[in-house]
Amino acid sequence: MGFERTFVMLKPDAVARGLIGEIIGRIERKGLTISAMRMERLSRKTVESHYAEHRGKPFFEGLVEFVCSGPVVLMVIEGLSAISVMRKLAGKTAGTEADAGTIRGDLALSNRYNLIHASDSPESAEREIKRFFEDAKFFEASPERLRWIYDAAERPGGGGRS
């Protein structure tokens, strides 16, 4: 895997519990870069579209109501294998089943109130970024910062060893 962009949403429970800084800190300490970010309260139509693959499932209505219940933080995260790294960092969906050291494993106890959404594939990442950041300008990490996170061969543009 190379450098990727992925979509992350901090859900209303993360915002209400004052965990935005804690979660963003974990993402940045891992070495991932936040290349776009904003906070907003999503419309029902947007949330239904975002979770459309779950329409008809017993939890769909509750999920939509929950995500519409307060502000969320929307982010585009980038880095080497960002999609899989971010999914591992988030942890399993249910906080009681998520491994210690993950966001959900350390900070959540619920299946519904699980703090964070992270794209699960390159296709969903592309679709979700387009949905929430269609006209956004993305900011890339400086080469100096990347120097201390990735081996030269892993950095954007590749290259040899430094």
Catalytic residue (choose from 117, 118, 119, 125) = 117
CA distance readout (Å), 7 to 38, 48, 109: 12, 17, 23
- Tell me the CATH class for 3-151: alpha beta
117 is catalytic: yes
Closest CA to 5 of 49, 50, 39, 35: 35
CA distance readout (Å), 52 to 24, 38, 95, 128, 136: 27, 22, 23, 12, 23
Residues 99-158: tens digit of each pLDDT: 999 999 999 999 889 999 999 999 999 999 999 999 888 988 888 888 888 887 787 766
Q: Which residue ranges make up each domain of the chain?
A: 3-151
Residues 62-71: tens digit of each pLDDT: 999 999 999 9
